[in-house]
């Protein structure tokens, strides 16, 4: 377990470290709103990200729920619908206990072609190029993993991963975030989660590529998903 001093150097991970210590490595420690909301986000990611037969990296993968969702959807463990599953899945998780738990859960669920590693995608500036050039990653996914970053911090992180894909002249970057255009009475913003302005985020991505899609309706404005493709 990381020391308190180390956690203070990574404030964006501290809520998850704390939840893991108090609740154990599991669904609740990921600080998702609900399982149903998580599933809806995964449906949108799968639709927009076009994961089939591509190498994907899930940055901030938690306990491996996306890999298991895709496995169950495409019945990979029964060798049916295998074409719908990624060519390979790489889960990157900053909390060691959660990464270990994800590895065990994926094995138990029969997920193939998946590996899980512990790494800090915010602090490790070499990670995007390593994943693209050494692991052949074609799709970067951020699902819920930007929620404890400020909007400018999130943009800085996303820029590094986008630049790695752009340099390789291929690939897709897809991410979701909590929207500040939500119904505040129905879904109030609560710390440690931080909401972004989807208009500002859309302008930010359009400065980099015209090949952009935005989804904002699937949870009634609670959050948004943006996908960027390298032309």
Tell me if residue 49 falls in helix, strand or coil. Answer: helix
pTM metric for this prediction:
0.86
- pLDDT tens per residue, range 83-96: 678 999 999 999 88
Token pair for 36 = 């149903």
Residue 76 pLDDT more than 70? no
Looking at the predicted structure, is the pLDDT value of residue 135 above 90? Answer: yes
Q: Could you tell me the residue ranges of all domains in the chain?
A: 34-229
213 versus 71: the higher-pLDDT residue is 213
Positive or negative, the CA dihedral 211, 91, 165, 195 is positive
3-state secondary structure of 199: helix
Inform me whether the pLDDT recorded for 187 exceeds 70.
no
Per the CATH hierarchy, to which homologous superfamily does domain 34-229 belong?
Vaccinia Virus protein VP39 (3.40.50.150)
pLDDT in tens, 21-55: 645 555 544 445 567 888 999 999 999 999 999 99
Three-state secondary structure string covering 131-196:
HHHHCCCCEEEECCCCCCCCHHHHHHHHHHHHHHHHHHCCCEEEEEEEECCCCCCCCCCCCCCCCE
3 state DSSP class of 28? helix
């Amino acid at each position: 377990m990381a020391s308190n001093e180390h956690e203070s150097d990574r404030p964006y991970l501290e809520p998850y470290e704390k939840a893991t210590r108090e609740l154990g490595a599991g669904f609740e420690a990921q600080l998702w709103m609900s399982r149903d909301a998580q599933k809806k986000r995964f449906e949108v990611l799968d639709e927009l990200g076009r994961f089939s037969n591509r190498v994907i990296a899930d940055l901030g993968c938690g306990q491996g729920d996306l890999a298991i969702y895709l496995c169950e959807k495409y019945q990979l463990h029964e060798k049916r619908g295998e074409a719908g599953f990624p060519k390979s899945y790489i889960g990157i998780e900053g909390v060691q206990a959660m990464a270990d738990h994800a590895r065990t859960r994926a094995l138990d669920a029969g997920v193939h072609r998946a590996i899980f590693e512990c790494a800090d995608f915010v602090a490790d500036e070499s990670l995007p190029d390593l994943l693209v050039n050494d692991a052949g990653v074609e799709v970067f996914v951020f699902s819920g993993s930007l929620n404890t970053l400020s909007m400018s911090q999130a943009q800085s992180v996303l820029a590094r991963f986008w630049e790695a894909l752009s340099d390789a002249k291929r690939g897709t970057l897809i991410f979701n975030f909590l929207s500040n255009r939500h119904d505040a009475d129905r879904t109030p913003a609560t710390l440690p989660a931080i909401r972004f302005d989807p208009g500002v985020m859309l302008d930010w991505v359009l400065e980099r590529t015209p090949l952009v899609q935005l989804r904002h309706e699937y949870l009634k404005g609670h959050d948004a998903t943006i996908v960027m493709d390298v032309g």
